[in-house]
């Protein structure tokens, strides 16, 4: 196998046994980026010199006998996370020239292990989108079919991992932005429990929903990366103080005694029959591995989408109010009054999807409409969270499709925002409830990957990794690579 197609744990074993160097791994991945990046455009910025410098430092560290699980392993960071001295754009003209003076906490934690930074991943602008077509710079293409989307908003990250342009990536997930692109690109991605991973240095979209997590080639790799980035951070007031368990200790192939619920609302009308077939076959595999499986119902699921598209735009409206052309970011310097300059700054600096969500959120928060929209959405959010809580009294995990369809064609949904929003119908309830959830590959339809979600109660990442690892030990969907 080519070096760039290894998993993290495979590459770590080579480094530990001195059968390969970090420099060799990094050179192989950089060569792969040069080969396929013109067709995929998964990066906003490639930091080749930085990567080789990091790799040499990692090799020196390994030579001293000091090797952590991620030492010397090349990775990509979604361009919504601050990287000291390296441009962080959020794929927006508003922040096109923003160079942070500090690292996000998760980036600092990876650097502490000696990870190698390859560059910054393309994304939907300010993480608002489901296809990575909303980037102000270029769309990213799906490595399984370059005429189709990779998902979003972490589409660049998922495409890079799937195509061998990075061993893993960090993404952010506000309504499915790690899991949906992971599913459409045939890789694994986890949204941790809200508060499990620090948001310090993450450029905010919707602060009560955003969460940072890894995209990697399998569940074991996701566990390795989450182990490195999870834990309390005093810089983030929403960070949980709970100790971080050993996630790899949960990676067991036997599922005897595990109770699996399969919610009826995640199947049926609007879902591709091939997606439903693949997920139900995956559930049967879990059953053969010893799990008990029962259908269940989450009737409030149908309210997830409308609740999300009130809460998330409202929080986005507040968070993005800071981009006024005065303090930082793009600033219109043409003629006109202060108010006209501010209007031009926001009109020219933000793309159409970001402006649409700002307007939706501003309306929902405005006098006379707050109670009818935002307050009611928050009340329903509480009900959805309680429904999940009740389900996890019966089940250890819940299993659903990640997306209702496989990857759609570029441009297919850009003119219909509602159709685009519906592609996140399976992932959004998880963010509303703040629970952990992983997407793993479970099949193909017309040559395109299908993803399956595994959910657990808050701080139930160990149950998720247990089920995902057992499934991947029994199947080979996660080992397949796109024929680029």
Phi, psi of 155 (to 5 degrees): -65, -40
Nearest to 208, CA basis, from 199, 219, 220: 199
Say how many C-beta atoms besides its own lie within 10 A of residue 237's C-beta.
9
Rounded to whole angstroms, the Cα distance separating 269 from 417 reads 19
Structure tokens of 140?
A: 């990213």
Counting every residue written for the chain, the total comes to 484
Rounded to whole angstroms, the Cα distance separating 29 from 34 reads 9
DSSP 130: S
The catalytically annotated residue of 92, 130, 131, 177 is 177
177 annotated active-site: yes
21 annotated active-site: no
Q: Are 179 and 189 in contact (CB under 8 A)?
A: yes
Structure tokens of 240?
A: 């949980």
Nearest to 469, CA basis, from 433, 440, 432, 449: 440
Rounded to whole angstroms, the Cα distance separating 478 from 440 reads 7
The catalytically annotated residue of 22, 153, 172, 200 is 153
Q: Hey, what's the torsion of the CAs at 161, 422, 372, 364, to 10 degrees?
A: 50
Rounded to whole angstroms, the Cα distance separating 124 from 115 reads 25
Label residue 317 left, alpha or beta by phi (over 0 means left) and psi (-120 to 50 means alpha). Answer: alpha
The catalytically annotated residue of 21, 78, 120, 188 is 78
Chain centre to alpha carbon of residue 222: 11
Rounded to whole angstroms, the Cα distance separating 380 from 395 reads 23
Reduced to 3 states (helix: H, G, I; strand: E, B; else coil), residue 458 is: coil
Structure tokens of 314?
A: 């409202």
- Give the active site residues: 78, 153, 177
């Amino acid at each position: 196998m080519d070096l760039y197609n290894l998993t993290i744990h495979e590459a770590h074993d080579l480094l530990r046994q001195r059968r390969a160097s970090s420099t060799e791994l990094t050179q192989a991945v950089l060569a792969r980026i040069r080969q396929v990046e013109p067709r995929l455009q998964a990066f906003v910025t490639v930091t080749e010199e930085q990567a080789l410098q990091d790799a040499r430092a990692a090799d020196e560290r390994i030579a001293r006998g000091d090797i952590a699980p991620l030492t010397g392993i090349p990775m990509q960071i979604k361009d919504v996370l601050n990287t000291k001295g390296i441009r962080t754009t959020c794929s927006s003209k508003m922040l096109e020239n923003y160079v942070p003076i500090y690292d996000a906490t998760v980036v600092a934690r990876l650097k502490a292990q000696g990870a190698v930074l390859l560059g910054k991943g393309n994304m939907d602008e300010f993480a608002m989108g489901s296809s990575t077509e909303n980037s102000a710079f270029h769309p990213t293409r799906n490595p399984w079919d370059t005429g189709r989307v990779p998902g979003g908003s972490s589409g660049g990250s998922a495409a890079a991992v799937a195509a061998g342009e990075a061993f893993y990536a960090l993404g952010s997930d506000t309504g499915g932005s790690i899991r949906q692109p992971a599913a459409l690109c045939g890789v694994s991605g986890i949204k941790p429990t809200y508060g499990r991973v620090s948001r310090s240095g993450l450029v905010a979209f919707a602060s009560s929903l955003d969460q940072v997590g890894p995209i990697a080639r399998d569940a074991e790799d996701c566990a390795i990366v989450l182990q490195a980035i999870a834990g309390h951070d005093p810089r983030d007031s929403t960070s949980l103080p709970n100790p971080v368990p050993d996630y790899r200790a949960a990676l067991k192939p036997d599922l005897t005694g595990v109770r699996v619920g399969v919610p009826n609302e995640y199947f049926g009308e609007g879902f591709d029959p091939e997606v439903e077939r693949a997920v139900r076959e995956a559930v049967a595999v879990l059953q053969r591995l010893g799990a008990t499986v029962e259908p269940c119902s989450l009737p409030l699921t149908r309210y997830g989408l409308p609740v999300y598209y009130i809460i998330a735009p409202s929080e986005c409206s507040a968070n993005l109010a800071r981009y006024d052309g005065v303090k930082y970011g793009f600033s219109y310097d043409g003629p006109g009054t202060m108010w006209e300059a501010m209007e031009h700054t926001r009109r020219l600096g933000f793309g159409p999807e970001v402006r649409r969500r700002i307007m939706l959120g501003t309306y929902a928060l405005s006098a006379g409409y707050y109670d009818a929209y935002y307050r009611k959405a928050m009340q329903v959010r509480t009900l959805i969270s309680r429904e999940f809580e009740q389900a996890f009294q019966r089940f250890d995990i819940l299993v659903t499709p990640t997306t209702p369809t496989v990857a759609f064609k570029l441009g297919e949904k850009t003119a219909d925002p509602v159709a685009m929003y519906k592609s996140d119908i399976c992932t959004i309830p998880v963010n509303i409830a703040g629970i952990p959830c992983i997407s793993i590959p479970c099949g193909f339809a017309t040559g395109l990957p299908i993803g399956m979600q595994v959910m657990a109660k808050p701080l139930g990442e160990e149950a998720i990794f247990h089920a995902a690892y057992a499934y991947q030990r029994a199947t080979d969907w996660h080992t397949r690579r796109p024929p680029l």
